A = this chain, B = another copy of it.
Amino acid sequence: MEAVMEHWLSKRAALSPDTLAVETAEGDSWTFIQLYDESVLFAKKLANYTDPKQHVGILSNNSLDMIIAFFACTYLEIPVVLLNTRLTNVEIKKQCESADVTLILTTNTLKEKAVSTAVSVNTFTEIHQSDPESVRITHTIKMDQLCTMMFTSGTTGTAKAVMHQFSNHWSSAIASALNLSLLPTDKWLACLPLFHIGGLSIILKGVIYGMPVYLLEKFDEQLVHKAIINNGVSIVSVVSVTCSRLLEKSGDEKYPESFRCMLLGGGPAPRSLLEKAKHKGVPIVQTYGMTETSSQIATLNANDAIRKNGSAGQALFSASLEIRKEGKQLPPMEIGEITVRGPMVTSGYYKREDANKAAFTDGWLSTGDLGYKDEEGFLYVVDRRSDLIISGGENIYPAEIEDCLLTMSAIAEAGVAGRPDSYWGQIPVAFVVKADSALTDNMVKEHCEKLLAPYKVPKQIYFVESLPRNATKKIQRHKLMDWIN
């Protein structure tokens, strides 16, 4: 029997119609019944523009419209491809092609960017202004059905679409609740982009738990701080950079007792940050997760926060985590690849049998990240996969930037690495062997700016005579890092 549930938003609207669903810093607020009504209405209008089985892209910064468009698609059984607004036209176009996106829903501001992808585009406003169709919308959720896709890169540099079934999102929300508890007074602040799993998962938790979400268009330490102090926010998801800025901002001001969790993900946190938070009494909960695990898969319990400072905790209740080397499980304290299993783990990358074959073994996902477990089974992430650069919570894959550099005829060879940065964590820098001696660093940057999202553009170009390569001529990125560290 295929697992079926009532549509989460329909059910929540029936159970908690008048409970606050989403509020914003501007003072707007919607209850669950309002969110439901708006989403269903939007679905009926959207039906004019879509066919069943189509894939719809959403290109938007955090907004209520974005949430409504997302739920509207689920009511039409249309999988949603969430597009990163920071990407260039060229990057978005590639992603739309590889995820079979045939329609992009976007904001008025981003329309121009979307149109350049050559996929058909409608703004939220256009949909709002059209007439609803008398279309049959679904009020059930088939748990095995594809709900969302989000892109992640890889060592090859080609972005891969991670598929999330409804069951992945459900299991993620449940596993998180079993870890963090579920208080009737909870309110979760979302300042991560909803086109990333860390953001979208908050919206889904809100609906599944019946919990209000405080939505910000983007991270702003002033607004987050104010919401914690004045608006009853009990949980906020952050990455190292934003956490650090918040601690800076709060100064000597104490957070209220009801603020119970600053959930810190998106890469390893510097020990100095954790110590600062501890000193200030800020309840940091360290977590480890990725797009492929539909957000958290390991989290450090509040009970263990001090005793295990620096650890990302243990795998959540329904999840499993092992450290492996060459397929074999390693004993405690030995560093190997982090492999995970659980109902929140993606079933795979869309139409990428090659990548799936490489990543999955008997239901276990090889994350490519390095870490070890201590004697009590607590995970310490030593490094995200060695070539990954994490800059302000965004993942940057050197191979993708190198591919871009090599499209310049004036470049013979290129290697990219992450340079430590006190503000962003890391920033990408490039090592270039010239094919044309007239090449300048500005020419390189300008080229990249046309093709790459700003956060991926190398902040420094080092011209070198040759690149360090191993016997098989693969670039040795760790040596590049040695050059600059």
Determine which residue in A5, A15, A301, A320 has the highest number of CB atoms from chain B within 10 A of its CB, and name it: A15
Whether, in the assembled complex, A439 has its beta carbon less than 8 Å from a beta carbon of chain B, the answer is no
A351 → chain B, closest Cβ, in Å? 19
Is A182 in the interface zone, CB < 8 Å from B?
yes
- Assuming the A-B contacts A14-B314, A181-B184, A182-B178, are A6 and B343 also in contact, with contact meaning beta carbons closer than 8 angstroms in the complex? no
- Are A208 and B317 touching (Cβ within 8 A)? yes
Which residues of A in the span 279-321 have a Cβ within 8 Å of any Cβ on B?
301, 303, 314, 317-318, 320
Q: Is A377's CB within 8 Å of the partner chain B? A: yes
Nearest Cβ in chain B — how far from A169, in angstroms?
13
Q: CA A174 – CA B342 in complex, angstroms?
A: 16
B183 and A11 form a contact (CB under 8 A): no
Residues of chain A in range 1-32 having any CB-CB distance to chain B below 8 Å: 1, 3-6, 8, 11-12, 14-16
Residue among A4, A178, A347 with most chain B CB within 10 A? A178
Contacts of A343 in B (CB 8 A): 3, 5
Contact assessment for B208 and A178 in the assembled complex, using a CB-CB cutoff below 8 Å: yes
Residues of B within 8 A of A1 (CB): 347, 363
Q: Tally A residues with Cβ within 8 Å of B.
A: 33
Closest to A18 in B: B303
Q: How far is the CB of A156 from chain B (nearest CB, A)?
A: 25
Known: A182-B182, A301-B15. Is A6-B320 also a contact (CB below 8 A)? Answer: yes
Contact with B along A145-188 (1 / 0, CB 8 A): 00000000000000000000000000000100110011110000
CA–CA, A243 to B177, complex, Å?
30
Task: Tell me whether B183 and A377 are in contact (CB under 8 A).
Answer: no
Asked whether, in the complex, the Cβ of B181 is within 8 Å of the Cβ of A363, the reply is no
Task: Say whether A209 faces chain B, with CB atoms less than 8 Å apart.
Answer: yes
Tell me the residues in window 317-358 of chain A with beta carbons closer than 8 Å to chain B beta carbons.
Answer: 317-318, 320, 341-343, 347
A347 and B1 CA atoms in complex are apart in Å by: 9
**Which residue of B has the minimal Cβ distance to A143?**
B343
Smallest beta-carbon distance A177→chain B, Å: 6
- Cα separation A209 to B16 with both chains bound (whole Å): 23
Given contacts A183-B181, A320-B6, whether A14 and B208 have CB atoms under 8 Å apart is no
With CB as the reference atom, state the residue of chain B lying closest to A2: B363
Set of chain B residues within 8 Å of A3, measured between Cβ atoms:
343
- Residues of B near A16 (CB, < 8 A) are 301, 303
Residue of B nearest to A12 (CB): B317
Residues of chain B lying within 8 A (CB to CB) of residue A318: 5
The residue that A182 contacts in the complex, of B6, B14, B181, with Cβ under 8 A, is B181
Q: Annotate A357-389 by CB proximity to B: 1 below 8 A, 0 otherwise.
A: 000000100000000000001000000000000
For A11, list chain B residues within 8 Å (CB).
Answer: 317
CA distance A481 to B238 in the complex (A): 65
In whole Å, how far is A143's beta carbon from the nearest beta carbon of chain B?
9
The residue that A377 contacts in the complex, of B14, B182, B301, with Cβ under 8 A, is B14
From B182, B347, B377, give the contact of A177 (CB < 8 A): B182
A183-215 near B? 1/0 per residue, CB < 8 Å: 110000000000000000000000011100000
**Whole-angstrom distance between the Cβ of A202 and the nearest chain B Cβ:** 16
Which residues in chain A, 52-93, are within 8 Å of chain B measured between CB atoms? none
Can you name 8 extra interface pairs (CB under 8 A) apart from A5-B320, A11-B317, A14-B377? Answer: A4-B341, A6-B320, A8-B317, A174-B174, A177-B178, A177-B182, A181-B182, A181-B184
6 A-B pairs with CB atoms under 8 Å apart are A1-B347, A1-B363, A3-B343, A4-B341, A5-B318, A181-B184
In the complex, the 6 A-B pairs of residues with the closest C-beta atoms, listed nearest first: A182-B182, A181-B182, A181-B184, A5-B318, A1-B363, A174-B174
